[in-house]
Amino acid sequence: MTSLTVLGATGSIGTSTLALVDEHPDRFRIVALTAQSRVDELAELALRYRPELTVIGDPACYAALQERLAGTGLAVAAGPAALVAAAELPAERVVAGIVGIAGLAPSLAAVRRGATVALANKECLVAAGPLFKAAVSRHRARLLPLDSEHNALFQALAGSEGRDVEKLTITASGGPFRCAELAEMRVATPEAALRHPNWRMGPRITIDSATMINKGLELIEAHQLFDLPDERLDVLVHPQSVVHGMVHYCDGSVLAQLGCSDMRVPISYCLGHPERLGSSVPRLDLAALGSLTFTAPDHVRFPAIPLARACLRAGGAAPTILNAADEVAVAAFLDRRIGFLDIVAVIEEVLAEDGRIAPDDLESVFAIDQAARRAAWRKVAERSHRPVSELTP
C-alpha cells in the first residue's frame, strides 16, 4: 500500500483525492489529514480513514475537533506548526492542496524529507519558486504538478529532452466573462463571477479564473517547473476545457493532453505515477463534442495576463507581491468592498509601489507577502472609502 497524506482534505482537491482513494481501498493508507476550519467534515474523514494525525489549521477550532473525536483514539492537533508536523510524517506521497500562503510551509516540510509531492498549492512556485525548487533538488524530493494545465504539460513532456521543446501552451476556459464587455464586467457581482462554466473550484481560484489572473500565475508556475522563459510560454482560450496543455516540439509536432473537466484526472495521474490509476471519471466523447475552438486571450479585457508576465520577467519579489495582492483583492471583491475590475487595478497599484528584492529564505517570503497584503488593504480602503481598520480581517 502507498502511504498518503492529504493537506487540505476538505477542499476541492482533497475531496477529489479521497474519492479516488475510495475507488482503490487496497492501494492507499492515509497517514495524515488536515483542514483549515471545517471541523465537522474533517472529523468525518478522520473517522472514515483513521489517520495517524488529524490537524485543524485554525487553533480556534481545536476544542471542537477534540470534542468530535473524543474517545476514538485518534491524535488531533491544531495550528500552523501542526500542519507542518502533519507534512513531516513519513508518508510516501503528499497531496499539497492547502490554498494560499498557509500551504507553503507544510509543502516545503514534505519536500525537505524527500517525499513525492503532488503540488496544487500555487504559492510554492509563485511566491517562493526558486527557494522551493532548490529544496526539491537538495532533498531529492519528487515534484508532480497537480494543476490540470501543468499536469498536462508534464504528461506531454514525458521522455523528451528540454532542448527539443520550442514552446509550452496552457489553455484557459475564459471563465464566466469570456464574451462579456467591459461595461458588464465593471458591474459584475460575486455571484456572477463565481458561476464558472466548466470547473467546480474554491472561491479564490474561481474568481482568479474570471479575471484570468489564474493563467498569469500558471505561466509563472510553468516557468519554475519547466525552466522555460516567458517568450516560450503561451496561453490560448479554449472554452470547452478539453485540451489542458500542449507541448510544441522543434520538428513541428505538437503533443496535447486531453480529458474531461474533472480534477480526478490529474490527481489520479499523480497518485499512480509512474503507473496510471484507473478511475470512474467520465470518458471523453469527441464525437459528441463536435468541435474544439481556440483563440488568443484579449489583454484589454483581461490585463492580468500581461501583468503576470511582467512579474515573471521582473523576478525578485514581484511574483510574491502579485500573489499576495491578488488574494487580498479577491477577498475584498467577494466581500463587496471593491468592484470586479478593481481586482487587477489594486494589484497593479501594489506592484507599482513595492520593491523587487528577491526573498532569500522562507521568513523573507512571508515578510514580503505580509507587506504586500497591508499595501493591498490600503488600496482597497482608498477605493471603498472606508478605513483600513474596517477592512483588514
HEC string of 255-316 equals EEEECCCCCHHHHHHHHHCCCCCCCCCCCCCHHHHCCCCCECCCCCCCCHHHHHHHHHHHCC
Helix/strand/coil percent split, the chain, to 5: 50, 15, 35
Choose the final residue of a domain: 113, 146, 179: 146
In a domain, 304, yes or no: no
C-alpha–C-alpha distance, residues 244 and 265, integer Å: 11
- The model's confidence at residue 348, banded by pLDDT at 50, 70 and 90, is very high
Examine the pLDDT at 279 and tell me if it is beyond 60: yes
131 with 155, same domain: the answer is no
In a domain, 55, yes or no: yes
How many domains does the structure of the chain reveal?
3
Q: What is the pLDDT of residues 133-156, one digit of tens each?
A: 999 999 999 999 999 999 999 999
Q: Tell me the mean pLDDT in the region 57-86.
A: 97
- The model's confidence at residue 384, banded by pLDDT at 50, 70 and 90, is confident
Cell numbers of 62, please?
Answer: 481545536
Of the two residues 103 and 384, the one the predictor is more confident about is 103
- Beta pairing, strands 243-249 & 165-172: antiparallel
175 with 253, same domain: the answer is yes
Q: What is the pLDDT of residues 19-36, one digit of tens each?
A: 999 999 999 999 999 999
181 with 141, same domain: the answer is no
Choose the final residue of a domain: 128, 146, 164: 146
pLDDT value of residue 201: 72
- 200 contact partners, CB below 8 Å, separation of at least 6: 12
pLDDT value of residue 338: 95
C-alpha–C-alpha distance, residues 90 and 83, integer Å: 14
pLDDT value of residue 387: 57
In a domain, 338, yes or no: yes
45 with 178, same domain: the answer is no
- Domain range spanning residue 238? 150-289
Cβ pair 95, 21 in contact under 8 A? no
Examine the pLDDT at 85 and tell me if it is beyond 80: yes
266 with 162, same domain: the answer is yes
C-alpha–C-alpha distance, residues 31 and 146, integer Å: 20
- The model's confidence at residue 360, banded by pLDDT at 50, 70 and 90, is confident
Q: What is the pLDDT of residues 212-256, one digit of tens each?
A: 999 999 999 999 999 999 999 999 999 999 999 999 999 999 999
In a domain, 90, yes or no: yes
- The model's confidence at residue 298, banded by pLDDT at 50, 70 and 90, is very high
| Alpha carbon distance, N-terminus to C-terminus of the chain | 43
CATH number at residue 364: 1.10.1740.10
- Which residue carries 488568443 as its cell? 296
Q: What is the pLDDT of residues 299-323, one digit of tens each?
A: 999 999 999 999 999 999 999 999 9
pLDDT value of residue 389: 57
176 with 245, same domain: the answer is yes
Cβ pair 187, 339 in contact under 8 A? yes
pLDDT value of residue 202: 78
C-alpha–C-alpha distance, residues 249 and 255, integer Å: 8
pLDDT value of residue 70: 96
Choose the final residue of a domain: 119, 146, 173: 146
158 with 278, same domain: the answer is yes
13 with 138, same domain: the answer is yes
In a domain, 114, yes or no: yes
117 with 177, same domain: the answer is no
- Beta pairing, strands 28-35 & 2-7: parallel
pLDDT value of residue 162: 76
CATH number at residue 22: 3.40.50.720
pLDDT value of residue 263: 93
Q: What is the pLDDT of residues 38-63, one digit of tens each?
A: 999 999 999 999 999 999 999 999 99
- The model's confidence at residue 392, banded by pLDDT at 50, 70 and 90, is low
pLDDT value of residue 100: 87
- 156 contact partners, CB below 8 Å, separation of at least 6: 245, 246, 247, 255, 256, 257
119 with 23, same domain: the answer is yes
Examine the pLDDT at 356 and tell me if it is beyond 70: no
C-alpha–C-alpha distance, residues 136 and 143, integer Å: 7
pLDDT mean across residues, the chain: 93
239 with 323, same domain: the answer is no
pLDDT value of residue 205: 84
In a domain, 302, yes or no: no
Q: How many Cα atoms sit within 13 Å of 289 on the Cβ side?
A: 16
Q: What is the pLDDT of residues 174-204, one digit of tens each?
A: 889 999 999 999 999 999 999 887 767 778 8
What distances in angstroms separate CA 296 from CA 94, 128, 153, 165, 265, one per listed residue?
35, 29, 19, 21, 26
95 with 14, same domain: the answer is yes
